[in-house]
Amino acid sequence: MANKKLTAWEKVEIARNPKRKTSLDYIEAIFDDFMELHGDRNFKDDRAIVCGLASIKGQNFTIIAEQKGRTTKENIERNFGMPNPESYRKAIRFMHQAEKFKRPVITFIDTKGAYPGIGAEERGQGEAIAKSMFEMAKLKVPVIAIVIGEGSSGGALAIGVANKVFMLENAIYSILSPEGYSSILWKDSSRYKEAAEKMKLTAEDLYNLKVIDKIIKEPVGDAEESFKKVVNILKKEIITTIAELSNLSEKEIVQNRYEKFRNMGEYMEV
Task: Give the residue ranges of DSSP H helices in 110-175.
Answer: 118-122, 125-137, 153-157
Question: Which pTM was predicted?
Answer: 0.94
Give the model's pLDDT for residue 49: 97
**Which candidate, 35, 56, 94, places its Cα nearest to that of 243?**
56
Instruction: Going residue by residue through the chain, which has 270 residues, state the pLDDT in tens, using 9 for 90 and above.
Output: 345 789 999 999 999 999 999 999 999 999 999 999 998 888 989 999 999 999 999 999 999 999 999 889 999 999 999 999 999 999 999 999 999 999 999 999 999 999 999 999 999 999 999 999 999 999 999 999 999 999 998 999 999 999 999 999 999 999 899 999 999 999 998 999 999 999 999 999 999 999 999 999 998 877 888 999 999 999 999 999 999 999 999 999 999 999 998 886 554 443
Which helix H or strand E contains 34, and what residues bound it?
Answer: strand 33-37
In sequence order, what are the residues at sequence separation of 6 or more whose Cβ sits closer than 8 angstroms to the Cβ of residue 16? 149, 150
Instruction: Judge contact between 238 and 144, C-beta under 8 A.
Output: yes
3-class SS of residue 124:
coil
Q: Which CATH architecture best describes the domain 8-269?
A: Alpha-Beta Complex (3.90)
Give the model's pLDDT for residue 220: 84
Give the model's pLDDT for residue 3: 53
Instruction: Give the side-chain half-sphere CA count within 13 A for 219.
Output: 14
In sequence order, what are the residues at sequence separation of 6 or more whose Cβ sits closer than 8 angstroms to the Cβ of residue 177? 112, 113, 152, 192
What residue segments make up the domains of the chain, in order of their start? 8-269
The pairs formed by 70-77 with CB atoms below 8 angstroms and a separation of 24 or more are 70/18, 70/19, 70/22, 77/47
Rounded CA-CA distance 98/61 in Å is 8
Give the model's pLDDT for residue 222: 75
Which helix H or strand E contains 56, and what residues bound it?
Answer: strand 49-56
